[in-house]
Chains A and B, each alone.
Chain A
């Protein structure tokens, strides 16, 4: 099982006049947890946003299951199974937790699995289950993050991209969420994880990319990246 499900080739993207990504290359292998690490401002979020189409790439290609999806609108990519849990959770604050989860399953493909996935989310996040009728905006930060990940799972993702899952959470909560991520991976979920918390990310991931100044500086099995002192000093500030 080492099929490449998502491949990013020479991706270039930015905001207006400012180019952020300068030919980024990376691959996500089916069933694995891949992580992108790098300093603040390296372009990790921009990479994920370009994959979803939130930011329009100015060059390069995004290949998903063998098809070029570079120019598809964001919602079409989500329908195909390229799903992102954005930084800052971005829940529908006025809507209930259950409604948020329902919206995760909006596409026709995900709708078919809605009941099963809702059960799954309640299984992985018992605290979310207790709050289904509550407005999402009234939850604590950690609970909101659980809903955000749960909403992503409701989309029946083939690749789940998660941006800064542990940002703003207590170390204990972050640990718990990472534990859940580990279980999900064991259940076969393909994940592309972007994390400030480099320790946790590298400890959990199968494969890691080190991003700096909009380019991949290095890649390899996560453990090797974690053990390489030079990389740790040069790019990760550890």
Chain B
């Protein structure tokens, strides 16, 4: 029984990170109606960015995480202008193709640089013992950081001028221009934030598991599941959706083999899409 509880706790900890990753995806969709297919590539890039910072500069992985976030933001800001700006407001297929192209380029370059063999970042963090089970310390820290980042994003969106401007542009771009809000710049910033969050999520995952440049793909898929659980374009729902996905993973993993996880996840994905197309959580849409 303790084993199952520990597994559920571990699932929830991971779920917080799934949630954070999904927030990056859902923020971009919510603000500019772009489904970012480079999301997984950015997660993977966040993993490698952490690896490089730690192995080259020798800094503590947790101190490197914010650096990865800032780097992700800057990269997202640039990608917006290069690949996304021109397809905003056009047919959805255009932005899917544009971001898919970005993904292919990043994964391609990453494969050249780092091949597809696994890397890992060493983290020493005492765990928490429950009976003969242990909850790894790095999982606890990663989950706490993920939740802190999600809360910080919430505070930013609801209590700062720029954050409110992002919500205004998401709500009505035309009207926000009429109010003097430079909406294009705001979109670029929002895209940067979405990518920055994806990169941070990737860097947190890198403190837990070995990874390759292709690892982002499975987290991208999880982000889609989470987003569907939480309601597309709803950051608070994404965090709850992530926790729910983690809960499900944690509850089934003691009983079935790992290969069943994606099967269960995607069956859930389809069921939720059919039964609750707007997501399970109608929360977090303002006060």
Judge: A and B partners, yes or no. Answer: yes
Residues of B near A96 (CB, < 8 A) are: 286-287
**Is the pair B175, A91 in contact by a Cβ cutoff of 8 Å?**
yes
User: A84 in the interface, Cβ–Cβ < 8 Å?
Assistant: yes
Interface SS majority for chain B: helix
A52 with B178, Cβ < 8 A, contacts A75-B183, A133-B287 known: yes
The smallest beta-carbon distance between B88 and chain A, in angstroms, is 15
**Is the pair B167, A94 in contact by a Cβ cutoff of 8 Å?**
yes
Expressed in whole angstroms, the Cα–Cα distance for A208 and B287 within the complex equals 44
Residues of B near A84 (CB, < 8 A) are: 178
**Is the pair A103, B285 in contact by a Cβ cutoff of 8 Å?**
no
User: B122 in the interface, Cβ–Cβ < 8 Å?
Assistant: no
**Is the pair B178, A78 in contact by a Cβ cutoff of 8 Å?**
yes
The smallest beta-carbon distance between B155 and chain A, in angstroms, is 14
**Is the pair B179, A95 in contact by a Cβ cutoff of 8 Å?**
no
**Is the pair B164, A54 in contact by a Cβ cutoff of 8 Å?**
no
Residues of B near A94 (CB, < 8 A) are: 167, 171, 285-286
User: A99 in the interface, Cβ–Cβ < 8 Å?
Assistant: yes
Which chain B residue shows the least CB distance to A78? B180
Residues of A near B179 (CB, < 8 A) are: 75, 78, 83, 103-104, 106-107, 151, 155
The smallest beta-carbon distance between A29 and chain B, in angstroms, is 23
Residues of B within 8 A of A (CB): 161, 164-165, 167-168, 171-172, 174-183, 285-287
What are 26 A-B pairs with beta-carbon distances under 8 A? A52-B178, A54-B178, A73-B182, A74-B177, A75-B180, A75-B182, A78-B177, A78-B178, A78-B179, A79-B180, A83-B178, A90-B172, A92-B171, A92-B175, A92-B176, A94-B171, A94-B285, A95-B164, A95-B168, A96-B287, A103-B165, A103-B176, A106-B165, A106-B181, A107-B179, A135-B287
